[in-house]
């Protein structure tokens, strides 16, 4: 199905794709069993990296699926499979897309900017590089709840000073009052201690995250350099194609319609924070009023709901990751077509 010849399903609807952490054993299994297009997705991605992604996704075990180098191609494949089923069965086409971290690759594959096999190779290398960037136990991440962004900066500055200059910084701006920080293990512990002590951080809560590396901070510089090296050696056929559907880049939180910038943004997002809150705020301000999450779970739907609530801009939400939710999506799209359209201001 050619995006260039298809109008959006609804001019105010965008699609989103989850990042690492949303994976679950069994994801996309029934889509694979019921839809040929889903089987084609799994076969293409598996062949590209010579890994049985079907077995990893459907059978696990969880300990294998959660290895970063496995998680990233598996989640990419499951998310793209869900999208292509909706595309095939419902002639679904969004007016814009966005993905959280790894999900940015899924979004770019979904709209035809990146080839699936190439993206599968890249995200597997990305996962390996991110895992190797920091030795186990030397980095960490924590979710900070209930604090304004300005206090997050203050928190990181104080934790860095207490940890004698160790790295710590915001990694994911997920939603109002929900920011993930990343950095050296000792600096993360200092930040958690500062939250517990109260004071100017009273009302905040810190939740240590069980992650294999401190993603999206300057400690990921070796992974960023590895991705830059990979992209520099790619074949001409692997280059990003024209963006016939605009996407919101993690790095900027703004719509990008220039395919020449895609690789730069993918390189930079490795060691810079994910501007998810800013991305959704931008889309809502541009008068997008509905979103569909493709892939396992509803993590992004929950974040979008919170962002929309604080912004006081209604946003209809649904998710699609299996055959049951495909039926829900069909009803959702029918309802959205009946909704009054407004002018988008991209």
Q: What is the pLDDT of residues 201-243, one digit of tens each?
A: 999 999 999 888 999 999 999 999 999 999 999 998 899 999 9
Confidence tier at 4 by pLDDT (50, 70, 90) = very low
101 catalytically annotated: yes
- H or E segment and range at residue 62: helix 62-65
User: Directed axis angle between helix 103-110 and helix 116-133, to 10°?
Assistant: 170
Dump pLDDT digits (tens) for 150-204. Answer: 999 999 999 999 999 999 999 999 999 999 999 999 999 999 999 999 999 999 9
Residue of 22, 101, 184, 212 marked active site = 101
Which residue ranges does the chain devote to CATH 3.40.366.10?
Answer: 3-133+220-338
* pTM for the predicted model, two decimal places: 0.95
Q: Return the bridge partners of 168, or none.
A: 183
Please report the pLDDT score of residue 211 as a whole number. 87
Strand partners, 206: 144
- Check if 259 is active-site: no
Domain with CATH 3.30.70.250 in the chain: 139-211
What 3-state class would DSSP assign to 223? helix
3-state secondary structure of 184: strand
Residue of 106, 216, 272, 279 with catalytic role: 216
Question: What's the CATH number for 3-133+220-338?
Answer: 3.40.366.10
- Domain spanning 139-211: which superfamily? Malonyl-CoA ACP transacylase, ACP-binding (3.30.70.250)
């Amino acid at each position: 199905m050619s995006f260039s010849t298809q109008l959006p399903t609804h001019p105010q609807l965008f699609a989103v794709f989850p990042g690492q952490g949303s994976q679950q054993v069994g994801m996309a299994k029934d889509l694979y069993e019921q839809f040929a297009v889903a089987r084609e997705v799994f076969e293409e991605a598996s062949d590209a990296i010579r890994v049985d992604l079907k077995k990893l996704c459907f059978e696990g075990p969880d300990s294998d699926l959660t290895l970063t180098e496995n998680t990233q191609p598996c989640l990419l494949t499951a998310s793209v499979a869900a999208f292509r089923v909706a595309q095939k069965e419902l002639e679904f086409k969004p007016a814009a897309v966005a993905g959280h971290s790894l999900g940015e690759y899924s979004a770019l594959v979904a709209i035809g900017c990146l080839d699936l096999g190439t993206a599968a190779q890249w995200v597997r290398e990305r996962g390996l590089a991110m895992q190797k960037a920091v030795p186990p136990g030397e980095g960490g991440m924590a979710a900070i709840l209930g604090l304004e962004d300005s206090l997050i900066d203050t928190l990181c500055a104080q934790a860095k000073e207490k940890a004698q200059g160790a790295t710590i910084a915001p990694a994911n701006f997920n939603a109002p009052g929900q920011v993930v920080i990343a950095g050296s293990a000792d600096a993360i512990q200092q930040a958690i201690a500062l939250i517990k002590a109260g004071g100017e951080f009273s009302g905040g809560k810190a939740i240590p995250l069980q992650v294999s590396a401190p993603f999206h901070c300057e400690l990921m510089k070796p992974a960023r350099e590895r991705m830059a090296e990979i992209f520099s050696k790619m074949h001409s056929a692997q280059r990003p194609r024209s963006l016939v559907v605009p996407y919101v880049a993690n790095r900027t939180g703004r719509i990008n319609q220039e395919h020449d910038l895609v690789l730069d943004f993918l390189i930079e997002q490795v060691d810079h924070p994910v501007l998810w809150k800013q991305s959704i705020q931008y889309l809502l301000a541009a008068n997008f009023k509905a979103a569909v999450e493709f892939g396992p779970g509803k993590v992004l739907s929950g974040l979008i709901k919170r962002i929309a609530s604080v912004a006081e801009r209604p946003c209809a939400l649904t998710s699609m990751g299996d055959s049951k939710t495909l039926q829900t999506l069909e009803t959702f799209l029918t309802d959205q077509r009946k909704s009054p359209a407004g002018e988008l201001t991209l």
